[in-house]
């Protein structure tokens, strides 16, 4: 049985965790993400995966794209600047009377440029709670990396950069896929490339085709090419976000591999970022939000 | 019957033209590009499409990926700096004794960065011939846009930027596809975006997700989003290639739509580029190369 169930329901994946207070006890995963489900399919999908955890009234708190307009129920965005920890959750009606489901609203920005997040606001609540009212910049690398300026317990502003999705799309779909296969890595080539586009971001798209030509003409290793592409993209992202991180305290919260890449890149610029695992911040965030 | 047959055989398409001297008389197209064919399938594919044009010995001159290692026969690259018009063609053995097939070699660059072209060297031969030993920069926009510095009848150096492929991949595969569907256009938004990344190229990847957010939050039109994405990418390309085009004579040779976009963008920077249709330059190039 569960005290409550933490649910991270994204576009392409569903992950549920049986919780005892703030502690995860067991996690189950499914590929039944938001984009595979009609609105009335969310409840049976959750029951399929969590069924034996539910014995009597059960609190379920979900974050992510599950709260989008095309999700289970729309959880209307809060607008920055707004509290990092806010207990205004969206309650979802269920057919099964044992379920007490709430969804964490996403956060939007109207000015100085339009932006949205769903899911990362929960990790930010976890960061602010875990680091005792952290002041600085949270970098949440992933498919759509978020940079959030946090001050006085508020999300002041944020910026999304599509670095992860661009890397996946270019290595998976473009002509470079022939030269960048596998999952190898070349740390020195990565750091050189970060430095290149951080200082000359205008070269990002011009440098990409070199990866194909270097393979054709010099047999450049795929591992080197992948690391260079990643470095070029992250370097360009750091150039775009320099006003955010320069001279600030930075915390990075992502999967292990992407966190390491961003940490290495920022450390090479003289920063000393704190690293917090994404799943722990999701649990910490959901736990603080259910009591907020 | 044909004096000779001009063949433009790329990765995804085949186009053959019955020629009388330098004049195209009839063109046929097929989707049997290089990447659909084994080496011994090229000859029957050509005979299928051109059969009734061939009555006795027929000269056939081909350019494009047909000369790649995975093509009909490898036409070894020439290396820049090299003559823009060079008669050193690669002869292909055929089973049908009536066919006299040659392939135009591609051009490679070893220094200052690796780069390759196959097909554009033929258009460049056409440009240099048509514009009476043109001196300046040729911009050949397409899937992989080429910028070539031409001087004293030579290709001095060149640079490939994957702008066309990035636009197609991002609008077709990324999350932005939901917000950029259709083929609409917004010229003012395009020019603003060109200006934005020409002056601040570091914002290229950071600005992309705004297109999704502007749709979700403000219902931004897909036509506007597409024009902005195109403008951001072309602006970044112009930032990367500024040392190439600034203060130089520029000729643009591409399809009608992409040529117009690049011409508009460069004109907004005070340039007055010459425009030459890509297909005409291919015919002119093949015609001058067969006699070179």
DSSP B52-81: GG-SSSEEEEEESGGGSTTSSS--PPEESS
In this predicted structure, what is the pLDDT of residue B1? Answer: 61
Check CB contact under 8 Å for A240 and B114.
no
Residue in A160, A206, A217 closest to B161 by CB = A206
Burial string for A45-68 (b: 16+ CB within 10 Å, else e) reads bbeebbeebbeeebebbbbbbbbb
Distance from CA of B210 to the nearest CA of A (A): 6
Does the pLDDT at position A2 exceed 80?
no
Q: Residues B264-290: what's their mean pLDDT?
A: 97
Is B268 part of the contact surface with chain A (CB cutoff 8 Å)? no
Backbone angles phi, psi at B13, to 5 degrees: -150, 155
Check CB contact under 8 Å for B237 and A161.
no
pTM exceeds cut of 0.80: yes
Is A26 part of the contact surface with chain B (CB cutoff 8 Å)? no
Is B41 part of the contact surface with chain A (CB cutoff 8 Å)? no
Q: Each residue of B121-140: pLDDT tens digit? A: 999 999 999 998 899 999 99
Helix-helix angle B222-240:B187-199, to 10 degrees: 30
Q: Each residue of B57-88: pLDDT tens digit? A: 999 999 999 999 999 999 999 999 999 999 99
Which residues in chain B have Cβ-Cβ distances shorter than 8 Å to A228?
A: none
**Which residues 183-202 of B are in CB contact (within 8 Å) with A?**
201-202
With tokens 């289970």, the residue in question is A72
Residue in A160, A204, A216 closest to B204 by CB = A204
Beta bridge partners of A52: none
Residue in A166, A173, A217 closest to B114 by CB = A217
Does the pLDDT at position A70 exceed 70?
yes
In this predicted structure, what is the pLDDT of residue A80? Answer: 98
Check CB contact under 8 Å for A236 and B204.
yes
| List of E strands, A78-141 | 78-79, 82-83, 90-92, 99-103, 107-109, 115-117, 136-140
3-state SS class at B31: coil
Answer yes or no: is the ipTM higher than 0.90.
yes
Interface mutation vs chain A, best among B77, B114, B199, B233, most A CBs within 10 Å: B114
In this predicted structure, what is the pLDDT of residue A133? Answer: 81
Does the pLDDT at position A146 exceed 80?
yes
Check CB contact under 8 Å for B204 and A170.
no
**Which residues 64-123 of A are in CB contact (within 8 Å) with B?**
108-110, 113-116
Check CB contact under 8 Å for A209 and B166.
no
Check CB contact under 8 Å for B241 and A201.
no
Is B146 part of the contact surface with chain A (CB cutoff 8 Å)? no
Q: Residues B277-289: what's their mean pLDDT?
A: 97
Which residues in chain A have Cβ-Cβ distances shorter than 8 Å to B233?
A: 205
**Which domains are seen in chain A, by residue range?**
4-108+282-291 (3.30.420.300), 161-275 (3.30.420.310)
Q: Residues B235-255: what's their mean pLDDT?
A: 96
In this predicted structure, what is the pLDDT of residue A153? Answer: 96
């Amino acid at each position: 049985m569960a005290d409550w169930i933490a649910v991270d329901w994204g576009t392409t994946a569903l992950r549920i965790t049986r919780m005892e207070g703030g502690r995860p006890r067991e996690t189950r995963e499914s590929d039944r993400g938001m984009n595979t489900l009609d609105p009335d399919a969310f409840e049976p999908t959750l029951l399929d995966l969590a069924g034996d955890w539910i014995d009597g009234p059960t609190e379920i708190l979900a974050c992510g794209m599950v709260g989008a307009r095309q999700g289970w129920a729309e959880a209307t965005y809060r607008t920055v600047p707004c509290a990092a920890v806010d207990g205004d959750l969206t309650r979802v009606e269920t057919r099964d009377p044992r379920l007490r489901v709430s969804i964490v609203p996403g956060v939007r920005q109207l000015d100085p440029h339009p932006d949205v997040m769903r899911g990362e606001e929960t990790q930010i609540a976890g960061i602010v709670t875990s680091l005792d009212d952290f002041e600085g910049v949270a970098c949440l690398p992933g498919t759509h990396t978020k940079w959030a300026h946090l001050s006085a317990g508020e999300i002041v502003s944020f910026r999304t950069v599509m670095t992860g999705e661009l890397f996946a799309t270019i290595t998976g779909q473009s002509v470079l896929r022939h030269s960048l296969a596998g999952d190898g890595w070349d740390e020195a080539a990565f750091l050189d490339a970060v430095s290149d586009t951080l200082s000359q971001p205008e070269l990002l798209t011009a440098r990409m085709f070199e990866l194909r030509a270097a393979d054709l003409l010099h047999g450049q290793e795929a591992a080197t090419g992948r690391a260079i592409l990643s470095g070029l993209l992250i370097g360009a992202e750091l150039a775009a976000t320099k006003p955010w991180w320069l001279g600030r305290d930075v915390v990075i919260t992502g999967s292990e591999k992407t966190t390491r890449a961003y940490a290495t890149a920022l450390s090479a610029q003289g920063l000393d970022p704190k690293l917090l695992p994404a799943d722990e911040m999701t649990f910490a965030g959901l736990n603080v939000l259910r009591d907020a």
